[in-house]
Structure 1
């Protein structure tokens, strides 16, 4: 399958939305109209990067949302992939790799020194994808600490 990766535009909202719903359902996150608009606004904010994967027919089959984060000690910014999703029927065809490569390429072009993303430790497919790109996180471990 040939995919085309392009920035997420306003006219793709209704193609992107069902994929966001599927992604959120898989993560156990309820989706409300307010939630969707908050995500849509965030991925179109200055410095954010959102892209979609389209198949040969032009159908949207995946997306990636990436946001900048500050690296205070280095006095620069990195980019973090917040969401990466491919429609279940399209998995295993290189779509996720193409989406990550797209973010990696745009980050490199912008002079961003670091790209990271977080995934569930028990997701073997995502772990294998991360291993294609990562260098053992440079010895760093990111932990999640619940608040409240």
Structure 2
């Protein structure tokens, strides 16, 4: 499949929203309109990176959301992929790879030497995609600590 990656913008909102709602549902998250608008607005902020993948017909078939993070010890910053989703019918067609390559290129052009993202341990497809790009997390393990 040939895909075209484009920045997420207002023209793409409803197509993106459909996929984002499916992504949230698959994650067991109930999204309110306020939350959706908060995400969309955050992706328009300077340094944030939202992109969508279009198939040959122009339909939006996937998205990626990435936000900058500071690396204090190194004195630089990287991009953190917060969300990556490809519609079920397009999985295994290279869409996820194209979206990651797009974010990696954005990180490189903004002089950010690191791209990272997390996945559930039991998500085999995402883990395989990570292994295609990653160096075993550089030897680091990310833990999540609930606050409330």
Could you say which TM-score interval applies, normalised by the shorter chain? Answer: over 0.9
The offset of 1:31, in angstroms, is 1.0
Structure 1, unaligned runs of 5 or more = none
Q: CA RMSD in A?
A: 0.6
Q: CA deviation at 1:30?
A: 0.3
Partner of 1:49: 49
Cα distance in 2 for partners of 1:61, 1:94 equals 11
- 1:110 Cα deviation after fit: 1.2
Structure 2 spans left out of the alignment, 5+ residues: none
Q: What is the TM-score when the length of structure 1 is the normalising length? A: 0.98
1:58 aligned partner: 58
Runs of 4+ in 1 over 3 A off after TM superposition: none
Whole-angstrom CA distance in 1 between matches of 2:119 and 2:139: 17
Query: Could you give the per-residue CA deviations for residues 54-103 of structure 1, whole angstroms, max 9, x where no partner exists?
Result: 00110000000000011111111110000000011111100000000000
Which residue pairs with 2:38 in the alignment? Answer: 38
Within 5 Å, which residues of 2 pair with 1:1-148? 1-148=1-148
- Number of residue equivalences: 148
Whole-angstrom distance in 2 between the partners of 1:41 and 1:144:
25
Question: What TM-score, normalized to structure 2?
Answer: 0.98
